[in-house]
Amino acid sequence: MGKRKGGNKALGPLSEKSGSANGYLFGDPKMIVAVPTIADTATASVVSEDLVVVDERTDSSNLENPPENESVIGGDKTSADYYFDSYSHFGIHEEMLKDVVRTRTYQNAIYQNSFIVKNKVVLDVGAGTGILSLFCAKAGAKHVYAVECSLMADMAKEIVEANGFSNVITILKGKIEEIELPIAHVDVIVSEWMGYFLLFENMLNTVLYARDKWLINDGIILPDKASLFLTAIEDAEYKEDKIEFWNNVYGFDMSCIKRQAIMEPLVDTVDQNQIVTNCLLLKTMDISKMAAGDVSFTVPFKLVAERNDFIHALVAYFDVAFTRCHKLIGFSTGPRSKATHWKQTVLYLEDVITICEGEALMGSISVEPNKKNPRDIEILLKYSFHGKRCQVSRTQHYKMR
C-alpha cells in the first residue's frame, strides 16, 4: 500500500475549540446533507491551541539518562517489530487523535446522546489510548471495559488513572478473541475499527466477534453503519510520476517494477476537482446485523462521466454513521469532505480512458481478506468501456498490505 510523497496532509491542530464532523454524503455527492455535530455552533471552526513558551529551560536532555525500563512505548522497537505491533507507538495514536473529524464525531455522538451509555456497561474494542472509553465514562457509563492488545494498554491505564476514572474504566490487555470479561454481557460496544479502504487491517471481524460473544440483544454498536463508495478521477500528473516513471529510469527499462507499483493501491488526499464521474455507493455494512463473511463481496458498478475528460484511476472512500443517536451523526472520508487521516484509496488503471460526458465506465469490484494474512486486502477490478473515442476491457488485481 503506497502513500504519496510528502507524508500526511495537515489535518489542523486539535484543541478544545476544534470543529467536528465534515457532514455526511448520501449517495449522489451533489446531494450533501450537512449533519450538525457540535452543540454550540459557535465552536465549529478549528482553532489552534494557545502557544505556551517556556524560557530558560534547565532540565536535562532525554538523551543523557535513557530509561532503564525497556517496556517504554517504542523504546526498543524496530521497523520489523512494528509490523506486528505498530499500535504500540504513540505516533499513530497522535495522528488519529489529531484527526478532528474522526475524534470529534465520536465525542459528539457520545456526549450529545448520553442516554446511549449512561448507567450502561460499555466495551471499547481496540481502545488505544482509551479516548473513547474516557468519552463514555464522562458521559455517565456505569463501567467501561477497554480492550487493547498493544503495549499502548499500559499507557491507557496511566491515562485513565491520571484523569480520575480508574473506578469506571478497566483496561484489559490482550486480544478480544483471547481475553475474558469479568461479566457475561455488555450493553454497548464502541470501536474505531475502520482502516484504509474501510476494511484494511480487518479489525471489523474483531468487533463482530465481540458483538456475538458479549453484546445483549438490541444492544448498541457505535458506529453502526459504514458505506463504501467508488468514483473515477483524472490524475495524469501523478500517475506519470508514480507509475510511468519506471518505463525509463536514467535511460534504463525498469518496467517490471511498474507492474508491481500499479498493483499497490495508493493512499492519499484527492482533489475534488479531479473527480470525473458520479460517486457510487458500492456497499453498506450494518455492523449490528452483518456476518463476518460479509467483509468479502463482489458488486457491479457504473460510473457515468459528468464532463469530457480522461480517467486514470478509480478512487474508493467510506462514510460512517451513528444511526442510534437522536439526530443522525456521521462523517465522510470522501474527496468533497474535510480531510481525515484515512484520506482516499487510489486504484490506478493500466489504461488511460478518454471519456465524454454521459458515457459510462462499467464493471465489477471484488474485495476479500488475503488468505495468508487476513489483515491485508485483495481487490479484483474488472472494467469495460465503449465510448466514442476509446474502447477498453481489462481485469486488474490489487493488494493492500
Query: Is the bond leading into 223 cis (omega within 30 degrees of zero)?
Result: yes
Which one of 148, 192, 234, 359 is the catalytic residue? Answer: 192
Indicate whether 89 belongs to any domain. yes
Q: What average pLDDT does range 14-20 have in this prediction? A: 37
**DSSP state, 198?**
B
C-alpha distances in angstroms, 20 versus 102, 309, 318? 8, 34, 17
Indicate whether 85 belongs to any domain. yes
Indicate whether 46 belongs to any domain. no
Which one of 201, 237, 359, 368 is the catalytic residue? Answer: 201
Query: What share of the chain in percent tops pLDDT 70?
Result: 77
Tell me if 277 sits within 8 A of 307, measured CB to CB: no
> What's the domain count of the chain?
2
**pLDDT for the residue 126:** 93
Range in 32-46, 184-198, 260-274 with the lowest mean pLDDT:
32-46
Is the pLDDT at 17 greater than 70? The verdict is: no
What is the reported pTM?
A: 0.80
What residues have CB less than 8 Å from 89, skipping those under 6 apart?
A: 73, 74, 77, 82
- The yes-or-no answer on residue 192 being catalytic is yes
Summarised one tens digit per residue, pLDDT across range 252-288 is 999 999 989 999 999 999 999 999 999 999 999 999 9
Which residue spans within 95-234 are E strands per DSSP?
121-125, 143-148, 169-173, 186-191, 215-222, 225-233
**pLDDT for the residue 263:** 94
Tell me if 144 sits within 8 A of 168, measured CB to CB: yes
Q: Are residues 289 and 365 in the same domain?
A: yes
- The yes-or-no answer on residue 201 being catalytic is yes
Indicate whether 25 belongs to any domain. no
Indicate whether 212 belongs to any domain. no
Q: Are residues 266 and 128 in the same domain?
A: no
The residue out of 140, 171, 192 marking a domain boundary is 192
Which residue spans within 129-200 are E strands per DSSP?
143-148, 169-173, 186-191
Q: Are residues 394 and 324 in the same domain?
A: yes
347 lies in which domain range?
Answer: 225-400
Q: What average pLDDT does range 169-198 have in this prediction? A: 96
Q: Collapsing DSSP states into helix, strand and coil, what is residue 400? A: strand
What residues have CB less than 8 Å from 12, skipping those under 6 apart?
A: 18, 46, 98, 100
Determine the Cα angle at 272 with ends 101 and 42, to 5°: 35
Indicate whether 12 belongs to any domain. no
Is the pLDDT at 292 greater than 90? The verdict is: yes
